[in-house]
Chains A and B, each alone.
Chain A
C-alpha cells in the first residue's frame, strides 16, 4: 500500500501463471480503492500458452521475463519513448 502511494507505477514479477502473486496484489489494491485514485499497475506473469521445451533461459525469453524485457516493460509503463531498445 505504501509502495502504491509512493510511486507512479507498480509492477509485480513472478515465475508463475496469472492468478498468483500479481493477482493477489491487484485484488488488495482494488479493494483498498488505490486504482480509484490512479496507479499504473502491471503484473508480469507466464503467458497464456504452454511453452515448448528449451533451456529455461530461452523459455523465460518466450515468456517475456528476461532482464531486457522487464526493462522494456518499465519504460512502456512510464511512457518513456525509447529509441533502439531491444524488445
Chain B
C-alpha cells in the first residue's frame, strides 16, 4: 500500500521516542500502528487478529514502561507484530516469517526488546518471574511484565507460575489480555469464570480494585467496587481466583481505550509492591472489519487484499495430510463406536473439527493442556475406548512425561496422531517436529510409524484402530500429499514390515516417512548415472524392542 500515511509512526523508531508524545498523539499513533500492521500482514500473511487486539496495549506499555530495561514478555508471541514495528524493526516488518526475515514470534537473538522468545503458549509468567527474581538478586535490573491471553492463561503452566509468583511476593506485572477466545472458542471453567466477571461487572460502573487502590476512586465508586469484591468473594471458587493465588487484581478495563490503559499502567508502575494482575478486555481482530467478522477473528491469514480482506489461497492438487487423517478417522469411527478423538485447543489445525461435527459427543477439545490430553487419553483407553490423541509433534513435547508414565509404562493403547512432523516452514524452529521419532521410538512397547504418502496414512489410521496391544503413533507432515491414488478404505498394515519400492544391488536406502519422494528422485538420478544399483525400502512400521523382533521385521 503506497498511500498509507503514518506521520507520527514515522517519527518513532524505538520506544524511547514515545516519551515525547502527548496522550492525544499516542492515540493517533495507535491508529497508524494498526494500519501499518494490517498493511504488513497483507503482504506477508501470518497472525493478524492477535496483533490487532493489542495495538493500544503495545503503545501503552512501551509509553509507560522503559523497555528494554523493563522486560516485556509476550505470551506465545504471535501478537508481537505491532511490538516489533515499535522496537526498531519497522523497516523489516514485511519480511515476517520469510527466509532471512523477522521471526513471526519474539526472538532473543533478534532484538534486545525481545528478552525472552516464545511460540508455545503459557510460558510468559514463568519467564517474567525469572527476570523479576534475577533483578532482585543483583542480575539485570528492571521491571518484568508478562502479557498473556485468556486461552494461554488456562494452561497449567500459567497457574504454576502465578502460584509461585504469589508465594514469592515480588513486584511483577501480569496483564491478562482477555479477548474471549484463543484460536478456537474458549473451553473450560476458566472462561466461564472470566465471563462471569465481566458479565456482572459492567466496565463503566464497577471496578474491581485491589486493596491498595480502593482509595484512588471517588466515594460513590468505592461503594460499588466493595460490592463487586464481596460479590466475587462469594463465588464457588472461594474468593477471586487471582487474589487467592497472591496477586492484586485490577480491572477489568477496556484494552482499546488509551484513556484507561495509560492511567492504570502509570499508577501500577508507581505504586505496585507485589505481583499485580491487570485484567484488560480486547477484541481479537479489532479495527479491521474482515478480521472481526471472521470465525477465527483473523488468527492466521495468508496474504490478503487490504480493502476486501480476501485471502490469496494457493491452489493444491492433492489433499492435505491433515484432512486425509481426519476423514480417515471419521470413516473408521462410523464403523467403530469406541473411537474417540482428543485435541488440545486445535480442532481446525488437527482436522478434528470434522470429527467434532460428525461425532460431537466423542470429540474432546481439552484446551491448551497437552499433559492433561495425554493422561486423559490414557484413562479413556484403560476404560475401554480407542482414543486418538491428535497433537502436533512440537506440542506433544509438552505432554512427554505423561506419554512415558501414564501411557507407555502401563502399556495403554493410546493412538497418537502426530501432525506437523518434520520441518514446518515459516513458524521456524519453535514449531519444528524434529524430535518425536527419537523421544517416542525408544519407549518400550510402543509402535512408531511414519506415513510416506497420504494413501499410506489412510492405512496407518486403520492400523492404529486395530492395534490394541499397546500405544501406537503415526506421524505425518504439514502440507499436501504427493498425489497418489487413494484407497477406498484403510486396511491395517503389518507391523514391522517394510515395502520394497525398487530393487538394486549395491545400496539399500531405508526411508522412514515422506522423504521417500526425494529419495525416489535421487534414485532416478542415480539410475541415469548408471553403475550404481540401489534398492529403496520403506519400512512402514517399526517396533523398537529386542533385536530379534526388529530383525524379523526387516526380513519380511
Contact = CB atoms under 8 A, between A and B. Distances in A.
A and B physically associate: yes
Interface of A: 1-4, 6-21, 23-25, 28, 31-32, 44, 46, 50-56, 58-60, 63, 65-68, 70-71, 74-75, 77-78, 80
22 contacts: A11-B508, A12-B511, A14-B512, A16-B422, A16-B513, A17-B435, A18-B438, A20-B512, A21-B510, A25-B510, A46-B423, A52-B99, A52-B428, A53-B98, A60-B423, A67-B519, A68-B522, A70-B518, A74-B507, A74-B532, A78-B532, A80-B531
Contact of B518 (A1, A52, A66): A66
Contact of B425 (A14, A25, A56): A56
Contacts of A66: 518
A15 B393 CA distance: 12
Contacts of B531: 80
B513 A24 contact: no
A36 to B, nearest CB: 15
B281 to A, nearest CB: 32
A75 B506 CA distance: 11
Contact of B509 (A13, A53, A60, A68): A13
A71 B525 contact: yes
Interface stretch (B121-129, B172-180, B328-336, B543-551): B543-551
B46 to A, nearest CB: 11
B525 A56 contact: no
Majority SS at the chain A contact face: mixed
Given A52-B429, A56-B425, A10 B522 contact: no
A11 B424 CA distance: 24
Contact of A11 (B100, B510, B544): B510
Contacts of B512: 12-14, 20-21
Interface of B: 97-101, 103-104, 421-429, 432-439, 441-442, 450, 477-479, 504-515, 518-519, 521-522, 525-526, 529, 531-532, 534-535, 537, 539, 542, 544, 547, 550-551, 554-555
Contact of B423 (A28, A51, A80): A51
Closest 10 CB pairs of A and B: A20-B437, A15-B422, A19-B438, A54-B99, A67-B521, A53-B428, A50-B429, A70-B522, A71-B522, A16-B437
Nearest to B431: A53
Nearest to A77: B507
Contact of B554 (A3, A21, A46, A80): A3
A6 B506 CA distance: 8
B477 A15 contact: yes
B547 A75 contact: no
A13 B478 contact: no
Given A4-B508, A17-B434, 8 more contacts: A15-B422, A15-B477, A20-B437, A50-B432, A55-B426, A63-B423, A71-B522, A74-B526
B507 A78 contact: yes
A14 B426 CA distance: 21
A4 to B, nearest CB: 8
Q: Which of A1, A23, A70 has the most CB of B within 10 A?
A: A70
Contact of A53 (B426, B450, B479): B426
Given A3-B510, A71-B522, A16 B436 contact: yes
B511 A13 contact: yes
Contacts of B529: 75
Contacts of A7: 504-508, 535
A54 B437 contact: no
B509 A19 contact: no
Given A6-B508, A28-B551, A53-B104, A21 B437 contact: yes
A11 B509 contact: yes
A25 B437 CA distance: 13
A46 B518 contact: no
A14 B450 contact: yes
Contacts of B477: 15, 56
A19 B438 CA distance: 5
Given A2-B555, A53-B104, A74-B534, A20 B438 contact: yes
A63 B114 CA distance: 27
Contacts of B521: 67, 70
Given A3-B508, A25-B510, A66-B518, A17 B547 contact: no
Nearest to B520: A67
Contacts of A28: 547, 550-551, 554
A34 B478 CA distance: 36
Contacts of A25: 510
Given A20-B441, A21-B512, A51 B506 contact: no
B329 to A, nearest CB: 22
A24 B546 CA distance: 11
Contacts of B438: 16-20, 23
Contacts of A2: 554-555
A57 to B, nearest CB: 9
Q: Which of B425, B433, B509, B537 has the most CB of A within 10 A?
A: B509
Nearest to A46: B434
A44 B428 CA distance: 21
B278 to A, nearest CB: 32
A65 B99 contact: no
A15 B421 contact: yes
A24 B99 contact: no
Q: Which of B104, B428, B437, B519 has the most CB of A within 10 A?
A: B437
Contacts of A31: 547
A65 to B, nearest CB: 6
Contact of B441 (A10, A18, A24, A51): A24
Q: Which of B436, B479, B508, B554 has the most CB of A within 10 A?
A: B508
